[in-house]
Amino acid sequence: MRVLVRDLKKHVGEEVELLGFLHWRRDLGKVQFLLLRDRSGIVQVVTGGQKLPLPESSLRVRGQVVENPKAPGGLEVQAKEIEILSPALEPTPVEIPKEEWRASPDTLLEYRYVTLRGEKARAPLRVQAALVRGFRRYLDRQDFTEIFTPKVVRAGAEGGSGLFGVDYFEYRAYLAQSPQLYKQIMVGVFERVYEVAPVWRMEEHNTSRHLNEYLSLDVEMGFIGGEEDLMRLEENLLQEMLEEALSSAGNEIRLLEADWPSFPKEIPRLTHAEARRILKEELGYPVGQDLSEEAERLLGQYAKERWGSDWLFITHYPRSLRPFYTYPEDNGTTRSFDLLFRGLEITSGGQRIHRYPDLVESLKAKGMDLEGFKGYLEVFKYGMPPHGGFAIGAERLTQKLLGLPNVRYARAFPRDRHRLTP
């Protein structure tokens, strides 16, 4: 029966069978050392008199587990038999044990099918999987229902901008930029819903923090008293997500030497107007109506220095800066918020307009075509409750938590302005 590398310490002195990849090899003549890698870790294997295949070949190893303080993990396997299950036919284009961000981003991404086998390359994906698991687990406990919405749509959630067009038989369709309209509709069905799914934004950014396809963690909740209910929900949700990642992907977090954040009892809050005043009067930054990336970075530093918090809510954005469905206040602001983590926006959310006449008026005020939102509008004729939600960008959160130099490293096969393969 197969034994995983992580469980070898339970089998010292016993004969075991291992299955994995040849991570590294060294031939000293009569003795060969190799590192065998499986999904759980790496172990040293000692053998003699056998010609070893190229690295990344898949192997079956049968041998005895012995203690060796000089070996990785303090254990090694003295092989009695090595079977080559599938040999590597040529050297890998990037040397896996040495791929620790030393190659250029383009090289690491071009050969992603190989570089992902490296410990550091795959670690962010394991951490992200744990974050998503914590996301689902917490919301399930809070009586949310997971939903699955269309990804080919007739119109965008925020109008006609930022959409990838596709031919859909005789129609013009688009890749979904958000499940926003559908998750609002589903509030009328289940009250509390969430979705974990990709979204697409046709934005020509080519920076270390932008992707054109990313994983969106969406939440929508009915019968709320205001946007504060949503922010409290997100605080508790994020805390559980971080705890799950640290618990089940702690080895990967330590491998990447991540500066893992503490979580405050309550995330500090600044209104959009207060944030602009602080930027201008206290930080000397000439800020416009919207907050630039640099402005958000400075606000992140401000939150850290003033409250010791890596997290900061910016609330009550002007109506002109928010989508048509955002609930307006009489003073021209909205019941909305963004969450900054270490100076990077990872969440946008707020309360939605829930009355039909107000929603029609908002669409008209934004100059949007009512016909394109007919199916969405219909549900608001039938008693939609006060509701709201938010969305977390999984890759951005992963990038900032782990201190990755590029958000592309937080997605297995990223899609950006110039990348459609692998």
User: What pLDDT, in 10s, does the model give residues 53-78?
Assistant: 999 999 999 999 999 999 988 999 99
Please tell me whether residues 259 and 323 are part of one structural domain. yes
Position 95 scores a pLDDT of: 83
Please tell me whether residues 62 and 183 are part of one structural domain. no
Q: Is the pLDDT of residue 156 over 80?
A: no
In a domain, 92, yes or no: no
Confidence class of residue 160 from pLDDT cuts 50, 70 and 90?
A: low
Domain end: 45, 68, 86, which one? 86
Q: Is the pLDDT of residue 158 over 80?
A: no
Q: Is the pLDDT of residue 310 over 60?
A: yes
Confidence class of residue 284 from pLDDT cuts 50, 70 and 90?
A: very high
Q: Is the pLDDT of residue 362 over 80?
A: yes
Q: Is the pLDDT of residue 99 over 80?
A: no
Confidence class of residue 186 from pLDDT cuts 50, 70 and 90?
A: very high
- Angstrom distances, CA of residue 369 to CA of 89, 155, 374, 376, 387: 57, 10, 9, 12, 23
Average pLDDT, the chain: 94
State the catalytic residue, choosing from 345, 355, 361, 415. Answer: 345
Domain that holds residue 11: 5-86
The predicted-structure confidence for 188-212, as pLDDT tens digits, reads as follows 999 999 999 999 999 888 888 889 9
Q: Is the pLDDT of residue 412 over 70?
A: yes
Position 104 scores a pLDDT of: 81
In a domain, 107, yes or no: no
State the catalytic residue, choosing from 11, 136, 154, 209. Answer: 209
State the catalytic residue, choosing from 178, 216, 336, 348. Answer: 348
Please tell me whether residues 200 and 75 are part of one structural domain. no
In a domain, 422, yes or no: no
Report how far residue 86's alpha carbon sits from residue 84's, in angstroms, rounded to the nearest whole number.
Answer: 6
Please tell me whether residues 384 and 284 are part of one structural domain. yes
Position 407 scores a pLDDT of: 96
345 is catalytic: yes
- The beta strand positions in 68-116, using DSSP E, are 75-86
Radius of gyration of the chain (CA): 26
Report how far residue 169's alpha carbon sits from residue 152's, in angstroms, rounded to the nearest whole number.
Answer: 12
Q: 420: Cβ–Cβ under 8 A, 6 or more apart, which residues?
A: none
Query: Which stretch of 15-24, 153-162, 411-420 has the lowest confidence by average pLDDT?
Result: 153-162
State the catalytic residue, choosing from 6, 126, 210, 355. Answer: 210
Please tell me whether residues 159 and 22 are part of one structural domain. no
- Domain tally for the chain? 2
Q: Is the pLDDT of residue 139 over 60?
A: yes
In a domain, 91, yes or no: no
CA 381, chain centre distance (Å): 36
In a domain, 264, yes or no: yes
122 is catalytic: no
Please tell me whether residues 206 and 300 are part of one structural domain. yes
Angle between helix axes 119-141 and 394-402 (nearest 10 degrees) is: 120
Position 30 scores a pLDDT of: 86
State the catalytic residue, choosing from 117, 201, 342, 352. Answer: 201
Of residues 306 and 369, more confidently modeled = 306
CATH code of the domain covering residue 77: 2.40.50.140
State in Å, rounded, how far the first CA of the chain is from the last one: 35
CB contact at 8 A, 81 and 62: yes
Q: Is the pLDDT of residue 318 over 90?
A: yes
CB contact at 8 A, 401 and 260: yes
Of residues 101 and 356, more confidently modeled = 356
371 is catalytic: no
Mean pLDDT of 345-373: 94
329 is catalytic: no
Please tell me whether residues 55 and 192 are part of one structural domain. no
State the catalytic residue, choosing from 396, 408, 411, 419. Answer: 396
Position 78 scores a pLDDT of: 97
CATH code of the domain covering residue 122: 3.30.930.10
60 is catalytic: no
Domain end: 69, 86, 103, which one? 86
Q: Is the pLDDT of residue 256 over 70?
A: yes
Please tell me whether residues 153 and 279 are part of one structural domain. yes
- Which amino acid, residue 333? T
Of residues 98 and 251, more confidently modeled = 251
Position 205 scores a pLDDT of: 82
Please tell me whether residues 127 and 31 are part of one structural domain. no
Query: Which stretch of 169-183, 200-214, 322-336 has the lowest confidence by average pLDDT?
Result: 200-214
Position 159 scores a pLDDT of: 63
Position 328 scores a pLDDT of: 97
State the catalytic residue, choosing from 95, 191, 203, 361. Answer: 203
Position 102 scores a pLDDT of: 67
In a domain, 101, yes or no: no
Q: Is the pLDDT of residue 100 over 70?
A: no
Q: Is the pLDDT of residue 103 over 80?
A: no
178 is catalytic: no
Please tell me whether residues 249 and 375 are part of one structural domain. yes
Mean pLDDT of 394-419: 95
Please tell me whether residues 306 and 401 are part of one structural domain. yes
Please tell me whether residues 207 and 340 are part of one structural domain. yes
Position 108 scores a pLDDT of: 87
Domain end: 36, 51, 86, which one? 86
In a domain, 206, yes or no: yes
In a domain, 245, yes or no: yes
Report how far residue 279's alpha carbon sits from residue 288's, in angstroms, rounded to the nearest whole number.
Answer: 10
Confidence class of residue 241 from pLDDT cuts 50, 70 and 90?
A: very high
Question: What are the respective helix, strand and coil percentages of the chain, to the nearest 5?
Answer: 35, 30, 35
201 is catalytic: yes
Report how far residue 20's alpha carbon sits from residue 37's, in angstroms, rounded to the nearest whole number.
Answer: 5
SS3 217: strand
CB contact at 8 A, 98 and 107: no
Position 270 scores a pLDDT of: 98
Closest by CA to 68, choosing from 28, 13, 15, 1, is 13
